Amino acid sequence: MTRFESAKELYSAFNVDAEAAIAALKNIPVSVHCWQGDDVIGFDGSQSLSGGIQTTGNYPGRARTPDELFSDIKKAFSLMPGKKRLNVHACYAFLGEDKGKVDRDAYSYKHFEKWVEFAKELGLDGVDFNPTFFAHPKMKDGLSLSSPDEETRAFWVRHGKRSLEIAAEMGKAFGKPCLVNIWIPDGFKDVPADRLGPRLRLKKSLDEMLENYDKEWVIPAVESKVFGIGVESYTVGNNEFYQNYAAKKGICCLLDNGHYHPTEVVSDKIPSLLAFYDKVALHVTRPVRWDSDHVVLFEDEIKEIAKEIVRNGATEKVLIGLDYFDASINRISAWVTGQRSMQKALLYALLLPNAEMKKMQDEGRFTELMVLQERVKTLPFGDIWEEYLRRENMTDDYYTEIAEYENNVLRGRK
């Protein structure tokens, strides 16, 4: 008997079907961010990151060109099991001869066709898109969509509109809707004199942006945040603002688990939103003391997030995306480790006797529930994970191949 067969038996004693769990996992798409490979710099001229987010570390091998980034994505994705989408930011436009002539408010689908072709070449499930409202000279006093300067505000509204148009083409190209996540860094370092004004302007800007988008192929989402580095005192797009906006407007909320007060958890927010929304989008990350965007690991809160997706039958309602960036270690390894951690968490959740545990809760059998929840923690999860990897033609050791790539490719990038 193989280890997998024996593990399968142990799980079936808890009425858990490991084969069904593996089959389900293969079908849950995870949208992998393109920005882990180059420290969120992009191709459209920015030299550094700003807007309250920060990449730290200077490990050698950052992708400096589109070719390098594509090569790194190819390597990383080859080591990531399961169904994947590619999440692209507008600052990753291929401008070609438009460089220096066309600004973000005039980007069009042609500047992103290479991404679509590339994603198809990799056999991905689709592409998601993000307007980039940061790291750009048109930000005025740290503000974009909420700027009191009409020219600035209008510029960013146009950028948002163009982004929604680009996304519609991306959706059509795959025959699957494209998630467009709207995150802006707007906020103030110190105590503001007016907290309402910027929010009213943001509301107006969003209304203008969303006036006329393609409802068939685009899923717009808004991502809230509590604070950012350098914008500690006030964030225009906070949780209350966006949740109300999304509910009224019939669009989607995106929950980034680095964007709340430290004892709040996204796992508990998912079911609350599922009670009201058809779709909920996620940025899965690992905040360490702040929104630090550490690489996702197979830890408690990510397991809780996965449980809420799986046991509520919401694998098609919750759009899972990753959002972390670490420049202090091999970037490809960072990418793969985070994606595999998400996959592990989903598999872990799929391997729980969810129906039985729910029944215990409903029948008030809390002692038994606690005992069962503890017992399943030591089931041979690793043997099922290894089998899943084997079926995906992968092994648990992804480092050896990454180290080779580092020596042959990344070290040459001086």
Active site residues: 183, 223, 225, 256, 259, 283, 291, 293, 323
Nearer to ligand RNT, 18 or 135 (CB): 135
How far is Cα of residue 389 from the mean position of the Cα atoms in its chain?
A: 22
Nearer to ligand RNT, 8 or 84 (CB): 84
Which of ligand RNT, Zn ion, none is residue 291 near (CB under 5 to 8 Å by kind)?
Answer: ligand RNT
Q: Give min distance, CB of 33 to Zn ion, in A.
A: 9
The answer to whether residues 159 and 131 touch, using CB atoms and an 8 Å cutoff, is: yes
- Binding-site string for ligand RNT from residue 116 to residue 155, where x marks contact by CB under 6 A and - marks none: --------------x-------------------------
CA angle 343, 295, 329 (to 5 degrees): 125
Q: Give min distance, CB of 11 to ligand RNT, in A.
A: 36
Nearer to ligand RNT, 31 or 130 (CB): 130
Question: Collapsing DSSP states into helix, strand and coil, what is residue 8?
Answer: helix
The single residue among 39, 256, 326, 383 that binds Zn ion, judged by CB under 5 A, is 256
Q: Give min distance, CB of 365 to ligand RNT, in A.
A: 40
- Closest residue to ligand RNT, judged by C-beta, is 183
Q: Give min distance, CB of 281 to ligand RNT, in A.
A: 10
Task: Please work out the total of residues on this chain that contact ligand RNT, with binding judged by CB under 6 A.
Answer: 11
- Measured CA to CA, the distance from residue 332 to residue 240 in angstroms comes to 36
Q: Which residues pair with 321 in a beta bridge?
A: 31, 283
- Measured CA to CA, the distance from residue 49 to residue 365 in angstroms comes to 52
Nearer to Zn ion, 52 or 380 (CB): 52
For residue 291, state whether it binds ligand RNT (rule: CB under 6 A): yes
For residue 327, state whether it binds ligand RNT (rule: CB under 6 A): no
Nearer to Zn ion, 21 or 222 (CB): 222
How far is Cα of residue 120 from the mean position of the Cα atoms in its chain?
A: 20
Which pair of structure tokens corresponds to residue 355?
């129906």
The single residue among 183, 245, 298, 335 that binds ligand RNT, judged by CB under 6 A, is 183
Which of ligand RNT, Zn ion, none is residue 130 near (CB under 5 to 8 Å by kind)?
Answer: ligand RNT
For residue 256, state whether it binds ligand RNT (rule: CB under 6 A): yes
- Binding-site string for ligand RNT from residue 236 to residue 255, where x marks contact by CB under 6 A and - marks none: --------------------
Q: Give min distance, CB of 130 to ligand RNT, in A.
A: 5
Q: Give min distance, CB of 394 to ligand RNT, in A.
A: 27
Which of ligand RNT, Zn ion, none is residue 40 near (CB under 5 to 8 Å by kind)?
Answer: ligand RNT
The single residue among 39, 44, 169, 323 that binds Zn ion, judged by CB under 5 A, is 323
Which of ligand RNT, Zn ion, none is residue 225 near (CB under 5 to 8 Å by kind)?
Answer: ligand RNT
Q: Give min distance, CB of 283 to Zn ion, in A.
A: 3
257-316 residues near Zn ion, rule: CB under 5 A: 283
For residue 283, state whether it binds ligand RNT (rule: CB under 6 A): yes
What per-residue string of b and e applies to 153-172 under the rule 16 or more CB within 10 Å gives b?
A: bebbbbbbbbbbbbbbbbbb
- Measured CA to CA, the distance from residue 259 to residue 239 in angstroms comes to 9
Neighbours of 103 (CB within 10 A): 17
Candidate segments 50-58, 128-136, 321-329, 342-350, binder of Zn ion by CB under 5 A: 321-329
- Measured CA to CA, the distance from residue 383 to residue 396 in angstroms comes to 11
Nearer to Zn ion, 155 or 325 (CB): 325
Provide the binding-site residues for Zn ion, judged by CB under 5 A: 256, 283, 323
Provide the binding-site residues for ligand RNT, judged by CB under 6 A: 35, 40, 53, 130, 183, 223, 225, 256, 283, 291, 323
